[in-house]
A and B are shown apart, each in its own frame.
Chain A
Amino acid sequence: MPGITREEVAHLARLSRLELSEKELDHFATQLDDIVGAVARVGEVAAEDVPPTSHPLPLTNVMRADEVRPSLTPEQALAAAPAVEEQRFRVPQILGED
C-alpha cells in the first residue's frame, strides 16, 4: 500500500473542503499515514468469497405512502441561515457551473 504523502493530504483536503494550513498538512500527513498503515490490515483476511456487509440489518423495501406531511414554515427553514434575502438562503458567489 502506498503511504499518505503531503500532496495526498492536500488533495483529500480539497475534496473534503478543508482549507488546511501548511502546518496541518505536515501534521495530518504523518498521522494519516500511521492510521492508514494500521487499518490496511483489513486486507489480510477478507477473501474473494466473503460478501460485503454494508449494513447490519437484513431489511428491504421500507417505504412510505405518497402522502403530504406539513413542511416547516419558511421562517423555521431560514431561521438558522447565516444570510437571507428574498426568503431565500443567501450564499456567496458560486464558482461552479449552472
Chain B
Amino acid sequence: MGLEVHVELGTATKMFCGCTTALGGDANAQTCPVCLGLPGALPVVNAKGVEGAVRIGLALNCEIAEWCRFARKNYFYPDMPKNFQTSQYDEPIAFNGHLDVEVDGEVFRVEIERAHMEEDTGKSTHVGGATGRIQGADHSLIDYNRAGIPLIEIVTKPIVGAGARAPQVAKAYVAELRELIKALGVSEARMEMGQMRCDVNLSLRPHGREKFGTRSETKNVNSLRSVERAARSEIQRQATVLDDGGSIVQETRHFHEDTGSTTSGRIKEEAEDYRYFPEPDLVPVAPAREWVEELRAELPELPRVRRKRLQQEWGVGDHEMQSALNAGAIDLITATIDAGAPADQARKWWMGELARHANESGTELDGLAITPVQVARVSALVAEGSLNDKLARQVIEGVLAGEGGPDEVVEKRGLKVVSDEGALTAAVDDAIASNAAVAEKIRGGNMGAVGALIGGVMKATRGQADAKRVREIILEKLGVG
C-alpha cells in the first residue's frame, strides 16, 4: 500500500501568482494571466509556499534538499490552464522521512518517500449527466479560482506488512498527518472541503509469493472514514479477482461514498508519458541551511507528543485517545476544555452525542455547526443544574439546527429543569396516585421500583424535572429512606 496525500497550503495567495486563495469567491473572480495560463504570463514562486513545504518536510523527519527545482508535468486536461502542472519531479524539496502512527496501541512507522510542491487545478462542474458525474455529462463548466493554489504532495514509501490491518494503518496515517498539518498551522486540512485529499495505491502479495501484484490507484478519497473503507474495499476486490483466477489491471479507480466501493476509471489506451523537464520559467530553490534550522527550531509541539501530554491531563487510556484522534476531536476537546468545561465532559460530548451527529450527517466533527465554546456552555448549564443530560442533548440539537447558541435554544424551546417544589410535589402526588401498586412495593422496601415513579414524573414534566430532587420527594412522601 502506498498513500499519496495532497494538502492545500493555507497561504494568502496562490503558489505562482498574487491571486487570493480565499474560499467562496465568485467563479473566476480569483484569476489572473498567470493562473489562467494566458499567453505570455510567467510564474513567480510564493515564498510562504516554500516555507510551508519545508516545515511539513521537517515535521515528517525528512531531509530538506539543498537545491531543487520545479518541473513541468505535461498532460492535457481542461481544468489545467497551461496543460502542464508545475510540480517537482526527481528533485523534491523534502525526502526520506517518516511518521509514526498508532494502531491498536501499537506503533507503526510509515516511511515517507518525499514531499514536494505543486499547484492545484481548476474545478469542473459537469452538466447534463444524471448524477453530476463526468460520465454521461453533456458539457462541463470550469472555474479556475482553485487553479494555482499551492499543494504539497506527500508520498509514502510502500507500506508493507500491515496485512489485514492496512486499512486501519491508512486511516491512522492520514489522521496523524492531518493533526500534524494543523499543528504546523500550514493548512486547516479540512478533508470535506478538499484541502486534504488522499489517493490510495494498493497491490496484493499472494501468500507464498515474493512479488506484489499489479497495483490500482484509488483517487480522491476525501474523508478519514473513506480512507479506511476505500482501502478495505479495494483489498477485498483485488483478493476476489485473484481468488477467481483473474488478474488486476493497472488502472485508476474512483471511490464512492454512498456504496463504500470503488469503480474503474477510464483505462488509458497508452501509458502516461508526462515528459517531465525542468521548469524553465523558474529558477532553483535552494533553502539556506540556517533558515532550515531556524524553521526546525520553531516547529510546534508535535501531535503525538502533545497527545501524550493531553492523555495524562485528561486521564484517559490509549484507546480513548486513539478514538479521539481518529475522530479528529483532539483540538475540539482541547478548545472546549479551554472554554471552561471539565475534561471528561468535553470528551463525553464530542465523542458521544456530537460524534453520533457527525456520523449521521456524514461530516467530520469540525464540520458540525457547533463551536467548542458552545459545547462548554452546554456543559456548564448541566453542571449548574439548569439542564439535565437529556435536555442538554436537545439543546445541542437546536444549536446544530441553527436555532442559535445554547442559551438561545434553551430560551426558545423552553428547556429548563423544573425545580419548582410545588409543581414537582404535585407531579409526584399524581404519580403515586396512579401507580398505587408500585408505591406499595416501595413502601415495602423495594427501592428498585423508585425508577418507575421517577419515569412517570419525568414523562409528566416532559423530561424537564430535576430527577435527583424528584427521587428525594418520592422517598419523603412514601416515608422511606
- Is the pairing of A and B real? yes
> Does B215 make an interface contact (CB < 8 A)?
no
Point out the residues of chain B lying under 8 angstroms from A67, CB to CB.
12-13, 18
Point out the residues of chain A lying under 8 angstroms from B139, CB to CB.
90-93
Residue of B nearest to A62 (CB): B283
Task: Verify B13–A87 contact, CB threshold 8 A.
Answer: no
Which of A10-18, A28-36, A40-48 lies at the interface?
A10-18
The one of B44, B126, B252 that contacts A62, using a Cβ cutoff of 8 Å: B44
The one of B12, B32, B125 that contacts A88, using a Cβ cutoff of 8 Å: B125
> Does B394 make an interface contact (CB < 8 A)?
no
List B112-145 residues whose CB lies under 8 Å from chain A: 124-127, 133-134, 137-144
Task: Verify A98–B142 contact, CB threshold 8 A.
Answer: no
Point out the residues of chain B lying under 8 angstroms from A39, CB to CB.
none
What does DSSP make chain B's interface, helix, strand, loop or mixed?
A: loop
Chain A positions 38 through 64: 1 when the CB is less than 8 Å from some CB of chain B, otherwise 0: 000000000000000011010111111
Task: Verify A93–B285 contact, CB threshold 8 A.
Answer: no
Chain A positions 65 through 95: 1 when the CB is less than 8 Å from some CB of chain B, otherwise 0: 1111111111001100000011111111111
**Within the assembled complex, what's the spacing in Å between the Cα atoms of A69 and B13?**
8
Point out the residues of chain A lying under 8 angstroms from B11, CB to CB.
66
Task: Verify B76–A17 contact, CB threshold 8 A.
Answer: yes
What does DSSP make chain A's interface, helix, strand, loop or mixed?
A: loop
Task: Verify B46–A60 contact, CB threshold 8 A.
Answer: no
A residues in contact (CB < 8 Å) with B: 11, 14-15, 17, 54-55, 57, 59-74, 77-78, 85-98
Closest 4 CB pairs of A and B: A69-B18, A66-B48, A88-B141, A63-B47
B residues in contact (CB < 8 Å) with A: 11-13, 17-20, 26-33, 36, 44-50, 67, 69, 76-78, 124-127, 133-134, 137-144, 219, 252, 254, 265-266, 270, 273, 275, 277-278, 280, 282-286
Q: A15-B273, A90-B141 are in contact. List 9 more A-B contacts (CB 8 A).
A: A63-B46, A64-B44, A66-B13, A68-B18, A69-B17, A69-B18, A71-B29, A97-B134, A97-B219
